[in-house]
């Protein structure tokens, strides 16, 4: 599956009455192929998370298009785009995104229950928790987990539906070296199994796992 | 097992404090709607029972009784009373044109003393001319009363089976009337022979204000039925003009006096219930939206997992419905327990006769109250979904922590 950004840009209106806009992402072209792991680095505020949100179908671009296999995802109805995200895109958002009323295991199984009435794939969820080193905490509530553990849980959750595209925003933030390795190996193996993996980060630890590395600065994407 | 169906319940459990507040307000709203409508229904039912029981078109009492007898509140007054006039007044009243039937009643009150089971109003009637209490007996399938036989009102509680004691005389209870919600429920009914026995017994114990009277020569009231074709108000005016020393009240005035009062009470109760419901609704909506605001990252995360607007609306809607229905059911239950336990006390506190509505009516009102809880749930979930839709999930997730 090919995920492509064509001339995509994003402006945000600045506060106040000046009417000026912030160009968070300047028009750019970018593509992500099956089986590759691409890393976008950049400082905070460089526009990399905005680009990732647009590619995930979560943030409507100001201009240009985001295409999956030549279909503009923003031309789809909201329900179709959501369903596409559930079926084919795994997203690791920034920060903590666990539902605090559910256990760690239930949080990981959550993407499945949104559209399926069958029994959730508990074995796969446990296997993923094992891979991210959280199996022993599967019955804990999220408030018992550290920030790094919550990030790992989010990675496991994003992988549950065996996505064709995996988009990860700072997946290794707050992790120690050992766990960075663990998560990156997991993302790499997802790419090796055929997924298109894009991760944005302002850290350099992931570089050795990436097929291509880009840098983003002031809303512009540059190849490294 | 985790499913979309049980996710709302788990979410509510995860936010116990807010859920408890929502339950409390939902309970209050349902209790206000159910309790309010039950009380209004009970008050109106009491009025209709009282009207049916009154049975007479005109009530004639001694003029001097005015200080202890107010025709407009006789059905609601709580303190037993008695007063007498010469029995010759019966013939005078019966002779007035337009009077079809006239029957005397004789009142007596039991004493707050060891010789009496409890303080009660006694009403005696003349079986030969009576047209007021006789039909109640017939409606209740009770046999004719003999000497020392009594029928008790619905509020009269008897601890010694079938026997009640007044002035050390035992009376045999042959039946009990259905409730009317008025003081008629606190009365004991008997024939003239029985009341004469009891009046004489009270004389013996020096517990009667009217010792100078021979009970057989006095009556307390004359109940009048107007002949058809005659205007009750005109007949009442004629009685006033022709019979001296009496006070004349028409049933219409008595009931309309009560009815006006009850309508005022009903309006106040309805207004209070509506106000409580509206305040509750705003509180539920506010708390619910606050809870959703607190969880906006959770909803953004659900959107990131692929939950569309319908899925999110469904989760929010079920959360609102679960909490409002649970709170509503608890409010209805609590309200029902209080009403069925303290219906009489509530009626007295309101200064109104009240008969708690039948179980069928109560079920209907409970359904209506639950419907109002569902309406509140719908409003709260709509406000919450509107808030979620206005929030850009992409931006919320981009904000990080």
Q: Could you tell me the two tokens for A175? A: 């992790």
Provide the number of structural domains found in chain B.
2
Q: How far is CA A114 from CA A54, B4, B14, B388, in A?
A: 22, 6, 19, 17
Asked whether residue B103 falls in the same domain as residue B126, the answer is yes
Nearest Cβ partner of A58 from B310, B394, B401? B394
Task: Answer yes or no: is pLDDT of B48 > 60.
Answer: yes
Task: Assess B16–A contact: CB distance below 8 Å, yes or no.
Answer: no
Alpha-carbon gap, residue B137 to B232, rounded angstroms: 26
Query: B353-393 pLDDT, tens per residue?
Result: 677 788 899 999 999 999 999 999 999 999 998 888 888 88
What's the burial of B77, exposed, middle or buried (CB within 10 Å: 0-12/13-18/19+)? middle
Asked whether residue B171 falls in the same domain as residue B305, the answer is no
- For residue B126, which phi and psi values (nearest 5 degrees)? -100, 105
Q: Residue B131 domain-assigned?
A: yes
Asked whether residue B69 falls in the same domain as residue B167, the answer is yes
- Domain stop point among B251, B283, B298: B251
- Domain span holding position B343: 7-49+259-398
Query: B51-93 pLDDT, tens per residue?
Result: 666 778 898 988 876 555 554 455 555 566 778 889 899 999 9
Q: Residue B133 domain-assigned?
A: yes
Query: B201-242 pLDDT, tens per residue?
Result: 888 877 776 776 787 888 988 999 999 999 999 999 999 999
Asked whether residue B163 falls in the same domain as residue B275, the answer is no
Asked whether residue B236 falls in the same domain as residue B272, the answer is no
Structure pTM? 0.72
Asked whether residue B329 falls in the same domain as residue B360, the answer is yes
Asked whether residue B94 falls in the same domain as residue B137, the answer is yes
Say whether domain A3-223 belongs to CATH 3.40.50.300: yes
Nearest Cβ partner of A58 from B4, B304, B401? B304
- For residue B122, which phi and psi values (nearest 5 degrees)? -110, 135
Asked whether residue B168 falls in the same domain as residue B190, the answer is yes
Please count the other Cβ atoms lying within 10 Å of the Cβ belonging to residue B211: 10
Asked whether residue B230 falls in the same domain as residue B305, the answer is no
Q: Residue B2 domain-assigned?
A: no
Domain borders along chain A are: 3-223
Contact B301 A83 (CB under 8 A): no
Residue A79's pLDDT band (cuts 50, 70, 90): very high
Q: Residue B39 domain-assigned?
A: yes
Higher pLDDT, B144 or B33: B33
Residue A159's closest chain B neighbor by CA? B305
- Domain stop point among B251, B280, B302: B251
Which residues 308-327 in chain B show a CB within 8 A of chain A?
308-311
Q: Could you tell me the two tokens for A199? A: 């991760």
The dihedral through the CA atoms of A173, A176, A177, A180 has a sign that is negative
Residue A29's pLDDT band (cuts 50, 70, 90): very high
Per-residue model confidence (pLDDT) at position B40: 86
Contact A85 B305 (CB under 8 A): yes
Alpha-carbon gap, residue B376 to B93, rounded angstroms: 60
Task: Answer yes or no: is pLDDT of B49 > 80.
Answer: no
Asked whether residue B59 falls in the same domain as residue B23, the answer is no
Residue B253's pLDDT band (cuts 50, 70, 90): confident
Query: A152-206 pLDDT, tens per residue?
Result: 999 999 999 999 999 999 898 888 888 888 899 999 999 999 999 999 987 777 7
Q: Residue B351 domain-assigned?
A: yes
The dihedral through the CA atoms of B365, B367, B369, B372 has a sign that is negative
Per-residue model confidence (pLDDT) at position B190: 92
Per-position DSSP letters for B266-323, written without gaps between them: HHHHHHHHHHHHHHHHHHHHHHHHHHHHHTHHHHHHHHHTT--HHHHHHHHHHHHHHH
Contact B308 A113 (CB under 8 A): no
Q: Residue B1 domain-assigned?
A: no
Asked whether residue B247 falls in the same domain as residue B132, the answer is yes
Q: Could you tell me the two tokens for A72? A: 């503009």
Residues B348, B78: contact at Cβ < 8 Å? yes
Residue B281 neighbours by CB under 8 Å, 6+ apart: B29, B376, B379, B380
Per-residue model confidence (pLDDT) at position B78: 52
Q: Residue B243 domain-assigned?
A: yes
Among all chains, which residue has been given the structure tokens 């219409």? B252
- Domain stop point among B251, B278, B305: B251
Least confident of A64-68, B67-71, B264-268: B67-71
Chain A contact set for B300 (CB, 8 A)? 93, 97
Strand A71-72 versus strand A63-68 pairing type: antiparallel
Residue B205 neighbours by CB under 8 Å, 6+ apart: B111, B113, B115, B167, B168
Nearest Cβ partner of B305 from A60, A86, A96? A86
Asked whether residue B231 falls in the same domain as residue B379, the answer is no
Q: Measured between CA atoms, how close is A116 to chain B, in angstroms?
A: 8
């Amino acid at each position: 599956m090919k995920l492509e950004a064509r001339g995509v840009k994003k402006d945000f209106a600045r506060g106040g009455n000046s009417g000026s806009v912030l160009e968070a992402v300047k028009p750019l072209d970018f593509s992500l192929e099956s089986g590759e792991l691409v890393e976008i680095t950049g400082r905070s505020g460089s526009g990399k998370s905005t680009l990732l949100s647009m590619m995930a179908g979560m943030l409507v671009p100001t201009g240009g298009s985001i295409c999956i296999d030549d279909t503009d995802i923003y031309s789809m109805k909201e329900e179709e785009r959501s369903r596409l995200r559930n079926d084919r895109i795994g997203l690791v958002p920034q920060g903590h995104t666990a539902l605090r009323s559910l256990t760690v295991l239930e949080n990981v199984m959550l993407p499945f229950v949104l559209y399926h009435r069958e029994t959730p794939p508990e074995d796969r969820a446990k296997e993923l928790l094992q891979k991210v080193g959280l199996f022993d905490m599967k019955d804990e509530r999220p408030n018992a987990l550290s920030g790094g553990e919550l990030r790992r849980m989010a990675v496991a959750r994003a992988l549950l539906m065996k996505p064709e595209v995996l988009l990860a925003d700072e997946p290794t933030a707050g992790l120690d070296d050992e766990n960075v390795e663990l998560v990156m190996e997991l993302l790499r193996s997802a790419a090796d199994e055929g997924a298109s993996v894009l991760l944005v980060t302002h850290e350099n630890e992931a570089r050795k796992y990436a097929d291509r590395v880009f840098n983003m600065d002031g809303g512009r994407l540059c190849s490294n | 097992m985790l499913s979309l169906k049980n996710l709302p319940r788990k979410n509510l459990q995860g936010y116990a404090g807010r859920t408890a507040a929502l339950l409390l307000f939902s309970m209050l709203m349902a209790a206000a709607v159910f309790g309010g409508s039950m009380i209004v229904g009970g008050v109106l039912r009491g009025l209709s029972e009282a009207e049916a029981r009154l049975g007479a078109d005109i009530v004639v009492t001694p003029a001097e009784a005015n200080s202890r007898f107010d025709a407009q509140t006789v059905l609601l007054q709580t303190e037993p009373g008695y007063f007498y006039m010469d029995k010759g007044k019966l013939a005078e009243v019966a002779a007035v044109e337009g009077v079809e039937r006239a029957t005397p009643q004789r009142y007596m009150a039991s004493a707050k003393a060891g010789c009496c089971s409890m303080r009660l109003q006694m009403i005696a009637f003349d079986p030969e001319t009576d047209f007021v209490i006789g039909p109640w007996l017939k409606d209740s399938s009770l046999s004719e009363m003999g000497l020392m036989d009594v029928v008790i009102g619905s509020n009269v509680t008897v601890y010694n089976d079938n026997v009640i004691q007044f002035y050390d005389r035992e009376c045999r209870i042959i039946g009990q009337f259905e409730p009317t919600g008025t003081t008629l429920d606190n009365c004991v009914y008997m024939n003239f022979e029985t009341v004469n026995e009891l009046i004489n017994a009270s004389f013996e114990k020096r517990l009667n204000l009217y010792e100078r009277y021979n009970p057989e020569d006095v009556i307390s009231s004359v109940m009048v039925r107007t002949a058809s074709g005659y205007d009750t108000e005109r007949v009442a005016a004629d009685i006033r003009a022709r019979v001296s020393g009496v006070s004349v009240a028409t049933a219409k005035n008595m009931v309309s006096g009560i009815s006006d009062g009850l309508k005022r009470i009903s309006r106040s109760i309805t207004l209070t219930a509506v106000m409580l419901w509206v305040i509750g609704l705003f509180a539920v909506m506010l708390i619910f939206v606050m809870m959703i605001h607190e969880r906006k990252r959770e909803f953004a995360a659900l959107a990131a997992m692929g939950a569309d607007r319908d899925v999110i609306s469904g989760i929010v809607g079920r959360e609102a419905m679960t909490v409002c229905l649970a709170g509503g059911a608890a409010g209805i239950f609590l309200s029902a327990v209080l009403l069925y336990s303290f219906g009489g006390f509530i009626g007295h506190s309101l200064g109104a006769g009240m008969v708690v509505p039948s179980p069928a009516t109560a079920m209907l009102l409970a359904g209506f109250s639950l419907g109002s809880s569902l309406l509140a749930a719908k409003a709260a979930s709509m406000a919450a979904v509107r808030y979620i839709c206005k929030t850009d999930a992409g931006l919320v997730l981009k904000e990080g922590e």
